[in-house]
Amino acid sequence: MATLICPEEHSPVTDAEAIRKACKGWGTDEKALISILGHRNASQRKIIRKTYEEMYNEDLMKRLESELSGHFEKAVYRWMLDPQERDAVILHVAIKEKSILDYTSIIELSCIYSPHDFLSVKCTYQARYKRSLEEDLAQHCSGELRKLLLSVVGTYRYAGDEIDVKLAKSEADVIYNAIKSKEFNHEEIVRIITTRSKTQLRATLNRYKDDYASSLTKYLRDDGEKTANAFLGALRTIIRCITYDPQAYYEKVIRRALMKSGTDEVSVTRVIVSRAENDLGVIKELYYKRNSVSLDHAISKHTSGDYMNFLLTLLGNQK
């Protein structure tokens, strides 16, 4: 259930002219840009980019980058990309543009997408950056986290629905014994979590809950350590991405991003821009159920200006 509202027909030429006009001269008419681009689907946006380039001999993406700024610019830029290009950019930024690797979006894409779809993103990444996701990732992290992430992005998980009940039992025990002795980075935990099929892994984690009366993620915390432990955080994220329904997972991401003292705009942008044409409607419903506040309301409370207006437009507000 998408939230994006867009006309069935549009004139790419008229759109390109209006965008050109909004960008011309001193200042930029952000409202005009939002009223056009915030109401066009992926294939319409693609045609607009092409038409704009043909008409004005100028790359629309570069123009938008130079006209806009801050979180608004980042949101519009991601929105204008093809979905696979957008995912490639998200991965690249997560790996290379921060002092600390942002493992969340890497895990999200590799664990929520099907192996086939994630491979397509990896191929787009290669075409865009002339390197593999794996080599960039491996270069920008180390130790246990590298081992975990390389295995999770590398494994082409089996996508069948078979469940091996005995295996679920024995691997639930393996995990329990490692956790009991606080060996969170035990290589058997990494092996099971990163290589088993999603169906099998869910069976194992259910079995864990049944036998040990607790969900695994609760215990993947090192009480002694006050600082955030990236390895454990990544492990919890993988488990969430695999066990939750995708929409429930995205709801949680947005909820946490808006709960933070400083709003986490990177996560808000990622979820809203990526899901507006997919299942943002369901995510909105789940958000309301869980928080008793509409997502629109929360967004308008925690963001502002053109950025807020753009997000609200993608969330299906007609204004």
Cα 224 to chain center, whole Å? 30
Cα dihedral 190/193/197/198 (nearest 10): -160
Q: Out of 37, 81, 153, 312, which residue is the one contacting a copy of itself (CB under 8 A)?
A: 153
Spatial separation of the C-alpha atoms in residues 40 and 130, rounded to whole Å: 30
* Burial state string for 174-190 with b = 16 or more CB within 10 A and e = fewer than 16: bbbebbeeeebbbeebb
Taking the least distance from each CB to a copy of itself, the nearer of 63 and 140 is: 140
Write each residue from 31 to 60 as x if it is in contact with a copy of itself (CB under 8 A), else as -, in one continuous string: ------------------------------
Question: Closest distance between a copy of itself and the C-beta of residue 270, in Å?
Answer: 23
Which tokens sit at 240? 């969430």
- The answer to whether residue 165 forms part of the interface with a copy of itself (CB under 8 A) is no
Taking the least distance from each CB to a copy of itself, the nearer of 195 and 217 is: 195
- The answer to whether residue 316 forms part of the interface with a copy of itself (CB under 8 A) is no
Q: Out of 84, 132, 185, 294, which residue is the one contacting a copy of itself (CB under 8 A)?
A: 132
Name the segment binding a copy of itself (CB under 8 A); options: 13-21, 63-71, 123-131, 269-277: 123-131
Spatial separation of the C-alpha atoms in residues 63 and 54, rounded to whole Å: 14
- The answer to whether residue 151 forms part of the interface with a copy of itself (CB under 8 A) is yes
Angle, to 10 degrees, between the axis of helix 143-154 and the axis of helix 230-243? 20
Residue 120 has a CB neighbour count (10 Å cut-off) of 15
Spatial separation of the C-alpha atoms in residues 239 and 216, rounded to whole Å: 9
Which tokens sit at 246? 């995708």
* Element of type H or E holding 116: helix 115-129
Question: Closest distance between a copy of itself and the C-beta of residue 163, in Å?
Answer: 11
Question: Closest distance between a copy of itself and the C-beta of residue 123, in Å?
Answer: 8
Spatial separation of the C-alpha atoms in residues 185 and 298, rounded to whole Å: 37
- The answer to whether residue 185 forms part of the interface with a copy of itself (CB under 8 A) is no
Q: Out of 131, 209, 256, 290, which residue is the one contacting a copy of itself (CB under 8 A)?
A: 131
Question: Closest distance between a copy of itself and the C-beta of residue 299, in Å?
Answer: 37
Q: Which residues bind a copy of itself (CB under 8 A)?
A: 119, 122-123, 126, 130-135, 138-139, 142-143, 146-147, 150-151, 153-160, 162, 187, 191, 194-197
